[in-house]
């Protein structure tokens, strides 16, 4: 468990100055609050809930649950009997009760420097109400699912909160995903309406998003599911200049009058036309605590993505309190999370957590390397960012260019630095700490998942001594354990499966439409525990160190991909008979995709085919899944019972000749052949 005293050796202590005003100023205070959150959750969470507006109060215990499949259905219920509306809490409460109407909610920074926009809480509330009325006028009702496929623009937040206001369930699909992926997600969640945009720039690259959206809608129609309406925001075309959101002047680079936007008059509607004239008042729909809030898809080890379902009250409390304490949020902060809202990090820590606290955030459309590798630090200085949250892959990418592009800017405003998405290697941690934060800013290495809703293992910046690469200790209400293969809890320093023994308010409630899959994926292996799928080590001081996935998942640039998903995209090509995909360590992306493909008889492997296969995966899943290496495999190493030995393939991908025990291998000559023809370069 958590030690009484924090270790004093081999740790980084962070900033003394911060302790004066911090919400959790010492390790002792952290421990005291942690014990309270476990021993008396009703009181602990009751205090958190006091900050929010409840239409009706909850009755009974704060959390009710079953985590044991042998005792019946798995469930988590938080604050039963309470009703509220998150949009009301994020916007109306801040504007009316807390008098933050004129406070900036977002500094939007476009892909192109100089393209910018400021939106206050009052303006955001008006825009959300208008769009909520638009959704209602299109027949969207409480409980309906709405798909959102948009770039990083303020209207993405508007669309998501408009859904929340009327009790509709948003399903945001990252704009980097392919038409096929969008179609799959629309079908699974049975969305009646899609919100998208004409297009956007990512660096120099123009993405014609509407084109992809149309392709997805066509695929849905082909599969017998016609989506009734598609609302398109004009982000690049001329009308974008007249967008009613705040004041900004899109530079020539953004407005793109030549963009060919396909238009289907039976389905398509223009965002601007609909919003024009819509009332900016909209009574919120009061929702029960366990009403669905949103669905967000994450890769599943069988290949088919899982629709992770989060519900209203618990998620609101959890994202709000983790944001406040993990970033030690203070009212004059300017916070910047570089994630895309299409991922859980953007949901919880761009939209919900910061707005619940009345925070001012930067919302960035672009890339860390465009137009040059100083862009991040330029933005930090421009908005005087105090709390900054990014991914190890971005840190490693920028680290390659040395300290000079960082030092071109002052970064004096920075107070806390955060990371998320994958284990951070100590070298990248040190660079982040020494060069970016100039040894002044604590680093919060936050471990969590789409499923957990918010941070579950994390330092608190003024309380927890840091160890580079460790996500340190559990957040309040979270009880981790490490299990061995037989499911026994290990005590003290140990390594094994990371599991959680009880729920916290923000944990997922089910896999949308598939409770069975929810139970099998997370609760079946070790009854009584939520199984994260990650390996973990606990050191002598009780610190937790995530060692990486222990299932068939890969973490590419902080994004989870299942090997099965990539394999099925490859075998869909007519000349691929069989495919096996493994991870190979990559200096920037963490892991890269190394694919082995067995071709059908008589087909010869060549560069053109390789390019075709890459394209095939990109089109089926999205650019993040583009294979880094593809090797032709005349045969794959299999056990006598026909199971592919991925462990051996991983060794081949990394050129590690010590294969361990291969006595179950059916034909060892296959391995020699694969070693001989390994791919060394992309």
Distance CA 492, CA 353 (A): 34
Task: Please answer whether residues 531 and 499 qualify as being in contact, where contact means their C-beta atoms are separated by less than 8 angstroms.
Answer: yes
At 70, list the tokens: 């042998």
Of 654, 661, 647, 660, whose CA–CA distance to 675 is shortest? 654
Size of the site for ligand PRX (CB under 6 A): 22
CB 310 within 8 A of CB 294: yes
Among 92, 290, 291, 445, binds ligand PRX (CB under 6 A): 445
Tell me whether residue 248 or residue 347 sits nearer to ligand PRX (CB atom).
Answer: 347
| Binds ligand PRX (CB under 6 A): choice among 423, 442, 506, 637 | 423
The bridge status of strand 145-149 relative to strand 200-202 is unpaired
Could you say which of 422, 541, 565, 628 contacts ligand PRX (CB under 6 A)? Answer: 422
Of 526-555, which residues contact ligand PRX (CB under 6 A)?
A: 532-534, 546, 549, 555
Task: Work out which of 157, 207, 209, 344 binds ligand PRX, going by CB under 6 A.
Answer: 344
Find the shortest distance in angstroms from Cβ 347 to ligand PRX: 10
Minimum CB distance to ligand PRX smaller for 108 or for 349: 349
Q: Which residue, 451 or 628, is less far from ligand PRX as judged by CB? A: 451
Q: Which positions from 287 through 316 interact with ligand PRX, judged by CB under 6 A?
A: 298
Q: How far is the CB of 170 from ligand PRX (least distance, A)?
A: 17
The span of 213-221, 309-317, 416-424, 613-621 binding ligand PRX (CB under 6 A) equals 416-424
Q: Are 563 and 581 in contact (CB under 8 A)?
A: yes
Please, which residue, 107 or 448, has the CB nearer to ligand PRX? 448
- Residues 121-160, one symbol each (x = binds ligand PRX by CB under 6 A, - = not), give ----------------------------------------
Q: Which of 449, 494, 502, 639 binds ligand PRX (CB under 6 A)?
A: 449
Task: List the strands of the sheet with 193-197, edge to edge.
Answer: 268-270, 229-233, 193-197, 145-149, 169-172, 292-298, 306-311, 510-511
Comparison of 41 and 421: residue with beta carbon closer to ligand PRX: 421
Q: Which of these segments, 12-20, 85-93, 136-144, 414-422, binds ligand PRX (CB under 6 A)?
A: 414-422
CA distance 482 to 550: 13
* Shortest spacing between CB 363 and ligand PRX, in angstroms: 18
Q: What CA–CA distances, in Å, run from 354 to 93, 331, 383, 404, 527? A: 14, 11, 16, 31, 35
* Pick from 31, 45, 20: nearest CA to 505: 45
* 471 contacts ligand PRX (rule: CB under 6 A): yes
Which is nearer to ligand PRX, 345 or 357 (by Cβ)?
Answer: 345
* DSSP-derived 3-state class of residue 597: strand
Phi, psi of 473 (to 5 degrees): -125, 165
Within 40-120, residue ranges assigned H as helices are 41-49, 86-87
Lookup: tokens for 279:
């009332």
Helix (H, G, I), strand (E, B) or coil at 109: strand
Q: Which CB atom, from 246 or from 548, has the smaller least distance to ligand PRX? A: 548
- Nearer CB in complex with ligand PRX: 240/466: 466
Interface with ligand PRX (CB under 6 A): 298, 344-345, 420-423, 445-450, 471, 532-534, 546, 549, 555, 559-560
């Amino acid at each position: 468990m958590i030690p009484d005293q924090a270790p004093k050796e081999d740790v980084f202590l962070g900033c003394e100055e911060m302790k004066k005003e911090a919400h959790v100023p010492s390790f002792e205070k952290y421990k005291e609050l942690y014990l309270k959150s476990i021993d008396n959750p009703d009181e602990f969470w009751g205090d958190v809930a006091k900050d929010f507006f409840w239409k009706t109060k909850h009755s009974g215990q704060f959390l009710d649950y079953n985590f044991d499949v042998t005792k019946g259905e798995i469930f988590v219920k938080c604050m039963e009997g309470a009703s509220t509306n998150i949009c009301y809490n994020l916007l109306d409460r801040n504007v009316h009760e807390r008098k933050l109407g004129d406070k900036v909610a977002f500094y939007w920074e476009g892909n192109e420097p100089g393209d910018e926009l400021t939106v206050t809480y009052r303006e955001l509330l008006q825009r959300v109400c208008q769009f909520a009325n638009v959704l209602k006028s299109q027949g969207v009702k409480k409980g309906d699912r709405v798909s959102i496929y948009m770039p990083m623009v303020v209207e993405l937040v508007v669309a998501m909160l408009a859904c929340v206001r009327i009790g509709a369930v948003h399903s945001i699909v990252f704009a980097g995903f392919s038409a096929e992926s969008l179609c799959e997600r629309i079908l699974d969640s049975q969305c009646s309406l899609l919100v998208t945009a004409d297009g956007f720039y990512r660096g120099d690259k123009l993405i014609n998003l509407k084109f992809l959206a149309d392709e997805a809608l066509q695929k849905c129609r082909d599969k017998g599911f016609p989506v009734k309406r598609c609302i398109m925001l004009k982000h690049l075309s001329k009308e974008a200049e007249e967008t009613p959101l705040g004041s900004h002047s899109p530079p020539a680079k953004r407005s793109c009058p030549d963009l060919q936007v396909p238009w289907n008059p039976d389905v398509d509607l223009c965002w601007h036309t609909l919003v024009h004239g819509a009332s900016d008042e909209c009574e919120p729909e009061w929702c029960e605590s366990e009403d669905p809030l949103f669905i967000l898809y994450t890769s599943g080890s069988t290949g088919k993505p899982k629709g992770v379902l989060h519900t209203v009250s618990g998620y609101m409390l959890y994202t709000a309190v983790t944001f406040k304490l993990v970033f030690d949020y203070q009212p004059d902060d300017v916070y910047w999370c570089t994630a895309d809202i299409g991922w859980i990090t953007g949901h919880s820590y761009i939209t919900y957590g910061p707005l619940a606290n009345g925070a001012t955030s930067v919302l960035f459309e672009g890339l860390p390397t465009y137009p040059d590798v100083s862009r991040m630090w330029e933005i930090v200085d421009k908005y005087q960012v105090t709390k900054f949250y990014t991914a190890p892959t971005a840190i490693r990418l920028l680290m390659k260019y040395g300290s000079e592009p960082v030092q071109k800017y002052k970064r004096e405003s920075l107070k806390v630095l955060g990371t998320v998405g994958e284990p951070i290697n100590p070298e990248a941690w040190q660079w982040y700490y020494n060069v970016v934060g100039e040894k002044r800013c604590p680093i919060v290495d936050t471990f969590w998942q789409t499923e957990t809703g918010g941070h579950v293992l994390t330092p608190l910046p003024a309380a927890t001594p840091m160890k580079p690469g460790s996500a340190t200790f559990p957040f309040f209400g979270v009880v981790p354990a490490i299990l061995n293969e037989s499911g026994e809890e290990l005590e003290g320093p140990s390594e094994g499966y990371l599991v959680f023994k009880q729920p916290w308010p923000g944990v997922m409630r089910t896999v949308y439409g598939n409770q069975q899959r929810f139970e099998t994926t997370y609760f079946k292996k070790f009854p009584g525990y939520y199984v994260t799928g990650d390996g973990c080590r606990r050191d002598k001081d009780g610190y937790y160190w995530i060692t990486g996935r222990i299932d068939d998942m890969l973490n590419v640039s902080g994004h989870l991909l299942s090997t099965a998903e990539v394999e099925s995209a490859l075998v869909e090509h007519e000349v691929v008979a069989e495919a096996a995909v493994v991870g190979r360590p990559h200096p920037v992306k963490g892991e890269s995709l190394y694919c082995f493909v067995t071709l059908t008889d008589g087909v010869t492997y060549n560069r053109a085919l390789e390019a075709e296969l890459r394209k095939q995966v990109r089109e089926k899943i999205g650019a993040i899944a583009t294979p880094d290496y593809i090797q032709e495999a005349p045969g794959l190493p299999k056990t006598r019972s026909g199971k592919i030995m991925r462990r051996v393939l991983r060794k081949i991908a990394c050129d590690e000749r010590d294969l361990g025990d291969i006595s179950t291998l059916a034909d060892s000559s296959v391995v020699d052949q694969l070693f001989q023809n390994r791919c060394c370069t992309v």
